[in-house]
Amino acid sequence: MRFMLLFSRQGKLRLQKWFTSMSDREKKKIIRDMTTMVLARQPRSCNFMQWKDLKIVYKRYASLYFCLGVESQENELLALEIIHRYVELLDKYFGNVCELDIIFNFEKAYFILDEFLMGGEVQETSKQIVNRSIEASDMLQEVRFTDMHQTLQDDRLE
């Protein structure tokens, strides 16, 4: 896998993940090309595209497009299922996920993605396990910062 992008119907980037080293210029070009190419696709076309030497697999969920760049010898259907499982993971975590969840909590979406994919390969496919480890990390926050006093002080400083 080379990259994963999430963007809205208006072409606004919501999440970007790069699995190989790329310069900022390349990234910008890919983001621009992907949004234009994907958004221009007619309904009921297939979910795969060729871009340079890469295969682009994309899918729309409600108002969000999920777009995955994989090597051209990769299995496109499998890539499609990677997207689907990621959506399911988001759904499990946020509970009936919508675009706003991802906009306002994009860092959480990144954490979930990091738990699911690592080094450009699928690491953990189980919804339960991914969710458990994300919540384990989240929980630390609640245990450590139930100290209301500290929180109040922080707020006053701001």
Partner 1 sequence: MSDVVEKTLTALPSLLSLDSHPGSAKLSSTSKLGNLIRGITELTSKHEEEKLIQHELLAIKEQVSSPNTTMRQMKELMVRSIYCEMLGYEASFSYIHAIKLAQQGTVLEKRVGYLAVSLFLNESHELLLLLVNTVLKDLQSTNLIEVCMALTVVSQMFPKDMIPAILPLVEEKLNHPKEIIRRKAVLALYKFYLIAPNQVQHIHNKFRKALCDKDPGVMTASLHIYLQMIQENPDAYKDLTPSFVTILKQVVGGKLPMDFNYHTVPAPWLQIQLLRILALLGKNDQSTSEVMYEVLDESLRRAEMNHNITYAILYECVKCIYTIHPKSDLLEKAAKCIGNFVLSPKINLKYLGLKALTYVVQQDPKLALQHQMTIIECLDHPDLIIKRETLELLFRITNAQNVTVIVEKMLEFLCISEDDHTTIDLVGKVAELAEKYAPDNEWFIETMNTVFSLGGDMMQPDIPNSFLKLLSEGFDSVEEDRKLKLFAVNSYVPLLRGEPGKLPQRFLQVISWVLGEYSHLREDLEPAEVLSLLAKLLDMKNSSSETKSWVLMAMTKLCKGGTDASVTQEVSETYSSSLDTVLRQRAHELQYLSQDPELRARVLPRGANPETLEVDSSLSFLDRFVSEALAAGAAPYKPPHQRQEELDQSKALSLEPYGLSLPISMSSCSITDRQSPTLLSMSSGLSGDSADLSHKGGSSALKLDGVKRVWGREGYLAQREPVEEAAQVEVPSPIQSPGRQGEGDSLHSQTPTQTPTPEPEQEKQQLASSLFVGLASQSSVSLMGKSEPTPQRFRRKAKGQGPGSSFNASEQISSSLISPPSAVDNLLCNNLLDSNNASELAEQTSQLSQRLTTANGTCHTEAELTEPDTKGCNPALRRDNCVVAADPGPHDDPGRLTEVCLDSYLPAELSGLSHSEIAPLCANQSLNLSACHVQKEDSLILVVFIINSSESAIQQMLLQVDSEELEVSCLCDSPAGEMTSHSVAVGQYSLTVKRPAVHVEVVGTVSYQLPAGTSQSLQFSYKVPLTSFIRPFVVSTEEYGTMWLSFSHDTKQNLTLINDNQEPLTATLNALKKKLQLHVVEVIGMEGIVACRLLQDLPCLMHCRVNAGWLAVWLRSPVPDLPDCLIYHCQRALQSL
Q: What part of residues 90-109 is at the interface with partner 1 (CB under 8 A)?
A: 92-95, 100-101, 103-108
Q: Which is nearer to partner 1, 66 or 93 (CB)?
A: 93
Report if residue 46 touches partner 1, rule: CB under 8 A.
yes
Q: Which is nearer to partner 1, 128 or 148 (CB)?
A: 128
Among 62, 63, 71, 129, binds partner 1 (CB under 8 A): 129
What are the DSSP calls for the chain, one per residue?
--EEEEEETT--EEEEEESS---HHHHHHHHHHHHHHHHTPPTTS-SEEEETTEEEEEEEETTEEEEEEEETTS-HHHHHHHHHHHHHHHHHHHTS--HHHHHHTHHHHHHHHHHHEETTEE----HHHHHHHHHHHHHHHHHHT--HHHHHHHHHH-
Report if residue 80 touches partner 1, rule: CB under 8 A.
yes
Report if residue 61 touches partner 1, rule: CB under 8 A.
no
Report if residue 152 touches partner 1, rule: CB under 8 A.
no
Among 11, 22, 87, 99, binds partner 1 (CB under 8 A): 22
